[in-house]
A and B are shown apart, each in its own frame.
Chain A
Amino acid sequence: MNRFSGALDRLGRTVLVGVEEIGKIILLFVSVLTWMFRPPFKLRNIFKQMEFVGVKSIFVVVLTGTFTGMVMALQGYHGFRMFSAESLVGGTVALGMTRELGPVLTSLMVTARAGSAMAAELGTMRVTEQIDALSVMAANPVKHLIVPRVIAGVLMTPLLTVVSDFTGILGGYFVGVHILGINSGIFIKNITRLVDLNDIYNGLAKAACFGLILSLVGCYKGFNTYGGAEGVGRATTEAVVLASIAILISDYFLTAIMF
């Protein structure tokens, strides 16, 4: 009985902490929104973050996109061959990439690369009192540090998703046409037949939501770091784990709403 109530107690506590955390992240989002539209706009900071989140992630996104498209073509081919429907490979790769794998894989890669860096950078600034220094100089830390990162996350994740979609389809084309011997014309025709522009748009909208999640979580964890170098490490890990989980869970609900 005692063990049972102890476990219940722990469960309750965990739920409370989780709810509190989500509430605080939403409050941070509100504060980001209010500061985002208040001039002066720190364009230089925004561009710097866009470069970091976007330009510097292109390579990993191209790599993951290409290989995902390639493996989808391979898997799809073996499945469809049982029904002599190999020609559908092109369409399914394109559909899978644009609606699902493009946005999700890109966001997870950006989380690993940029979301973690946001947590580590802001966490270091917190423990070395640089964030306090900003406040002391009457400069709002949310405006200076978090707004540019969130803008970069929301804008660049969809752009990277476009890259991922495109390279994924290219990878699928390469495997399907050049290795598995599907007719090139049929491969492409099936893409245009199966994929609607709305599939692409909805995929990009999802990516924007994921970009918001990963940058907010990264900034939140970094901003609330405590406990020296160890704390920075913890904040970084927590940011990646929390953002990845949040992306995958919200993916289900966004998909349910959109498609």
Chain B
Amino acid sequence: MGAMIKLVNLHKSFGKQKVLDGLNLDIEEEKTTVIIGRSGGGKSVLLKHIIGLLRPEQGQILIDGTDITKLNDRALNEIRKKFGMLFQEAALFDSMNVGENVAFPLREHTTMKEKEIRETVADRLRSVGLTGVEEKMPSELSGGMRKRVGLARAIAMRPRIVLFDEPTTGLDPIMTEAINRLIIETQKNLNLTCIVISHDIRSIFDIGHRIAMLYEGKIIENGTPDELQGSQNPVTRQFLAGSIEGPIRIM
């Protein structure tokens, strides 16, 4: 089983604040890895390192064996074509309608004809459970719809790796369940390598093949859902139980 993404000894600080502190993590190919950890703990920062939006002060980020921390912009952009990303608030371009949003990467990186683009957009939207919404503007959509459109855009170019930053935060329980299903199905249908950040304890055991716990800038545990549920690590136990008692300090 190969690790297609390998993070080695990552260090990242903002000013005096140390966010990543010697983090190591292997992400397995064609599996979903869920990263859990407390708010403000650096999960988004970690994700942004994987796709090259942030550069570490020290350490390596290997994507298919290439260390992206050393790449220039052009080479980095080639690597990024392997990725799709769904942002926390979907990050749809609000100057464009839904159809243009999903078409954006196609127009940017392919020579497809207009008709082909329209068909591809409709297909991607259908695969996230939406039809006939191309003309809507992002501001007219509900939170759940925005996430769906964001996912359609993320998978428009058929990437091999998709990153999800808190895909279900801020959604009602039913929509949460629907988005979780969508992640599971999309991962299976497209054989994706997924990295999902989540707080939602119930969801993570449904969608994760592997679960990694981020704590104080390090991955302190990484295993199957069963392994994590049986964990003896007091930090993991406290986090999964959602308990106030334990080693995690509440400010």
Contact = CB atoms under 8 A, between A and B. Distances in A.
B109 A136 contact: no
Contact of A136 (B51, B78, B89, B92): B51
A138 interface: yes
Contacts of A133: 85, 87, 91-93
Interface string B80-95: 1101110111011110
Contacts of A137: 80, 104-105, 108, 153
Interface stretch (A22-30, A69-77, A124-132): A124-132
Nearest to B105: A137
B58 interface: no
A139 B53 contact: no
B77 interface: yes
A138 B85 contact: no
A118 B137 CA distance: 20
B94 A138 contact: no
B158 interface: no
Contact of B83 (A136, A139, A140): A136
B48 interface: yes
Nearest to B78: A138
A128 B91 contact: yes
Contacts of A132: 48, 53, 87, 91
Contacts of B89: 128-129
Contact of B80 (A129, A130, A138): A138
Interface in A100-142: 125, 128-130, 132-133, 135-140
Nearest to A138: B77
Contacts of A129: 87-89, 91
Contacts of B84: 136
Nearest to A121: B95
B53 A130 contact: no
B-side binding surface: helix, strand, loop or mixed?
mixed
Interface string A127-166: 0111011011111100000000000000000000000000
A27 to B, nearest CB: 14
Q: Which of B78, B81, B93 has the most CB of A within 10 A?
A: B93
B133 to A, nearest CB: 19
A39 to B, nearest CB: 13
Interface string A189-216: 0000000000000000000000000000
Contacts of B105: 137-139
A138 B109 contact: yes
Given A132-B53, A133-B85, A138 B108 contact: yes
Nearest to A40: B108
A224 to B, nearest CB: 15
B53 A136 contact: yes
Contacts of B78: 138
Given A130-B93, A130-B94, A132-B48, A138 B88 contact: no
A139 B109 CA distance: 9
Interface in B62-107: 73, 77-78, 80-81, 83-85, 87-89, 91-94, 104-105
A138 B83 CA distance: 10
Contacts of A139: 104-105, 108
Nearest to A45: B95
Interface in B132-161: 153
B23 to A, nearest CB: 20
B6 to A, nearest CB: 20
A135 B53 contact: yes
A226 to B, nearest CB: 11
B98 to A, nearest CB: 14
B71 to A, nearest CB: 12
15 contacts: A125-B93, A128-B89, A128-B94, A129-B91, A130-B92, A130-B94, A132-B48, A132-B91, A133-B91, A137-B108, A138-B81, A138-B108, A138-B109, A139-B105, A140-B73
Interface of A: 125, 128-130, 132-133, 135-140
Given A125-B93, A137-B108, 11 more contacts: A129-B91, A130-B91, A132-B91, A133-B87, A136-B51, A137-B153, A138-B77, A138-B78, A138-B80, A138-B105, A138-B109
